[in-house]
Structure 1
């Protein structure tokens, strides 16, 4: 299955300023596969070292900081060949190996001719710890679940991807493309973007195996909760995790601790929630009070929403059966459009450097689902899972902050169009958001 991250890895390989690379990503998102495939395609050979399977390799980093000695010991112990410039060296499952991470400083300074990538399923947790870290001596890259575009490629729909990439003007999409894209998007809501469930559907068309694969991933994540250094946090992490479908099923999707447990207080559960955020199993979206820069300066830290890393995992965790695929638009509208919101956030996170926010006010109630920062502009975003696309909240937002807003964005089941300053993006084009905003700004300005 083709991953679009491969292009970024190739840029890293060819960069004059290349440093050892740290690839972050949740368990079973495809880190090991893409690194081995990258090595197979673009290097003479790959030297792979897994510090979970071969814990004794850690000792080589504890006794010396000398790069040549470390590599010599690794080659002798594993029988693998390592050549400067010609070998991709993969250090996998390094989240529990601070000496390995710290050694990247010496590889960067003393042996830049070696191409090294470190990966691990809980690296976000490890890097959040206040420990010795090679600041400025490594490059970072994030691998997220497969996008809808990658799902289409895996499903053999290269023609649809080519069509979407060829669009260079904001105008309605012909039914010949529009209808199949919406049907494929429903299936993406069912499978999500984790490679194994996608494989079970796109290659085997096996719904039961796809369901089991999703359950297996969820079980693996729940076992990881026990890796919190304070074992008393384990049940709290688990309770927050299992409460997410209920949180998103509410009209007001603001995270409320009492949904986790009656009488729960923020100070009791905030460390457990932060663990999930650091592990990137969930995305935390703060409420923004105004469209200013930097966007973080206007965060209301007491109000936030929580979304899962993957829409398919959310569907499985919510125990929504795959049969909803055949029930009209139910997947888009189920539990107040939570799947659609999660899907949109999932794709916005991959396109924009700054984590999206949201905006709301009470009396009367208004809520804009997401606020995104693109370059130095702020754009309000609304997600409409139903055919009703009246955007009261978007209008209110512009009434309040109109002089700062160049364009309003709405994701819905309507066709691609630009009505004055409202850009309507069909849900299946969410991967194209950044590019479409650029096109719309030129058209609207023109």
Structure 2
């Protein structure tokens, strides 16, 4: 089955606006469906297309890039090798897994300047330094990030468009869903949290008529692929990358959820782990969330790189990384989460899902904590910081995530007191219906996508 992806609309915008003057580069983690949506786009929107998969491209195809100064010969070779006629301004050539052959990316400059065809590139780990160190990165590229299937796309795949429309309507009206539909929407969110957004996992879940075990098999295969990527691509610091990756569930199961290097390396300091963290972030396998020391003057300007949370890019993968096959095959984990009985350790899945949903909206992740010398502990802890993104009238939107129905709002109120008029809107994400109280907007997790 083919899952509808919203990024398809961005491809259309690129095609109509750029009209061949720039290539489109799709960056994203492995196995999120880049190649599938690229081919679907090429098939539907062009008279003909060629896909060059650099994982298996022949020597002749790679050697053909020596002819980049003889473009008639270059295109003729492609057309003959792939048995496809190319039509000026009506054909597209896709460079798939372009990080495997950086020479092709360098050639984009000349291919775009030629103007005959459109060019689309897909790549995993494509901007890692090892992959671009020996080439001139072309300016004739428009980059776009692609993420795993988001909550909206998951709902559509499960034929829940009517429920999705009702959620949007209630959000716009600032009213809660009726209890029956709130229960349905929370059930859908929990399904999404467990299955995740990797296309193979979603398809396996749907085609098996709701078997979480079938999706788990697919997710474990993907985790093994990621481990292989780490061994091959991270090179001199792969052991550090691997240590962080394997310990993501352990970090997220703690109260503060921050990376604690002493747990994986007795000599661990952040200056020795900056490249491994960069690698995990840039590969889009993980979403990093940095502490902002002073939110008032902009999040990025006050980013503390020695205080960081590391969320998995896909929450479904986190489930399979965190729990053994035996725990999952027993169905006990799925049963407790689907019934809304989320323990402390399982609460990490809830927060990871919110991080994933915010990232899919294009939000950079930041958090805030304040240590009280008097109390000898953090007295303010804000899970995520959003903003109105204004440069002239910057406002902060703190977000707290609560996986349980009973909670306090002490941190949020203290944050609002500390930063005063800089706080425009405050959010609590909780499993209860939508409500507003004391200028705090309380959102169920299935409404997060509406913040776009």
TM normalised by structure 2 equals 0.90
Please report how far the alpha carbon of residue 120 of structure 1 lies from its aligned counterpart in structure 2 after TM superposition: 1.7
Instruction: Establish whether residue 241 from structure 1 lines up as the match of residue 250 from structure 2.
Output: no
User: Structure 1 residues 126 and 107, CA, compared in 2 at 3 Å: closer, same or farther?
Assistant: farther
User: Structure 1 residues 12 and 392, CA, compared in 2 at 3 Å: closer, same or farther?
Assistant: same
Q: Deviations over 1:156-180 (max 9, x none)?
A: 1121122223332111111232111
* Distance in 1 separating the partners of 2:203 and 2:368: 37
Q: Residue 228 of structure 1 corresponds to which residue in structure 2?
A: 233
Report the 3-state secondary structure (helix = DSSP H, G, I; strand = E; otherwise coil) of the residue aligned with 1:123: coil
Instruction: Establish whether residue 250 from structure 1 lines up as the match of residue 258 from structure 2.
Output: no
* Distance in 1 separating the partners of 2:169 and 2:92: 35
2:334 to 309, 313, 325: 325
Q: Residue 337 of structure 1 corresponds to which residue in structure 2?
A: 347
Q: Residue 367 of structure 1 corresponds to which residue in structure 2?
A: 381
Q: Residue 388 of structure 1 corresponds to which residue in structure 2?
A: 406
* Distance in 1 separating the partners of 2:399 and 2:68: 52
* Distance in 2 separating the partners of 1:229 and 1:251: 30
Please report how far the alpha carbon of residue 243 of structure 1 lies from its aligned counterpart in structure 2 after TM superposition: 0.6
Instruction: Establish whether residue 161 from structure 1 lines up as the match of residue 164 from structure 2.
Output: yes
2:422 to 398, 401, 404: 404
Please report how far the alpha carbon of residue 290 of structure 1 lies from its aligned counterpart in structure 2 after TM superposition: 1.8
1:324, 1:331 within 8 Å by CA — same for their partners in 2? Answer: no
* Distance in 2 separating the partners of 1:24 and 1:44: 25
Report the 3-state secondary structure (helix = DSSP H, G, I; strand = E; otherwise coil) of the residue aligned with 1:362: strand
Q: How many residues align?
A: 431
Question: Structure 2 matches for 1:34-433, cutoff 5 A?
Answer: 34-56=37-59, 57-111=61-115, 113-125=116-128, 129-167=132-170, 168-205=172-209, 206-228=211-233, 230=235, 232-319=236-323, 321=328, 322-327=331-336, 329=339, 332-335=342-345, 337-352=347-362, 354-363=363-372, 364=375, 365=378, 366-376=380-390, 377-433=395-451
1:276, 1:282 within 8 Å by CA — same for their partners in 2? Answer: yes
1:66, 1:106 within 8 Å by CA — same for their partners in 2? Answer: no
Q: Deviations over 1:9-34 (max 9, x none)?
A: 11111114651000111111001110
User: Structure 1 residues 284 and 229, CA, compared in 2 at 3 Å: closer, same or farther?
Assistant: closer
* Distance in 2 separating the partners of 1:66 and 1:240: 47
2:24, 2:121 within 8 Å by CA — same for their partners in 1? Answer: yes
Q: Deviations over 1:67-88 (max 9, x none)?
A: 4332222112222222222222
Report the 3-state secondary structure (helix = DSSP H, G, I; strand = E; otherwise coil) of the residue aligned with 2:99: coil
Moved more, 121-130 or 219-228: 121-130
Please report how far the alpha carbon of residue 63 of structure 1 lies from its aligned counterpart in structure 2 after TM superposition: 4.2
Please report how far the alpha carbon of residue 334 of structure 1 lies from its aligned counterpart in structure 2 after TM superposition: 4.4
Moved more, 141-150 or 200-209: 200-209
Question: Structure 2 matches for 1:4-23, cutoff 5 A?
Answer: 4-16=6-18, 19-23=22-26
Report the 3-state secondary structure (helix = DSSP H, G, I; strand = E; otherwise coil) of the residue aligned with 2:216: helix
**Mind listing any 5+ residue stretches in structure 2 that lack a counterpart?**
none
Moved more, 54-63 or 416-425: 54-63
Please report how far the alpha carbon of residue 333 of structure 1 lies from its aligned counterpart in structure 2 after TM superposition: 4.1
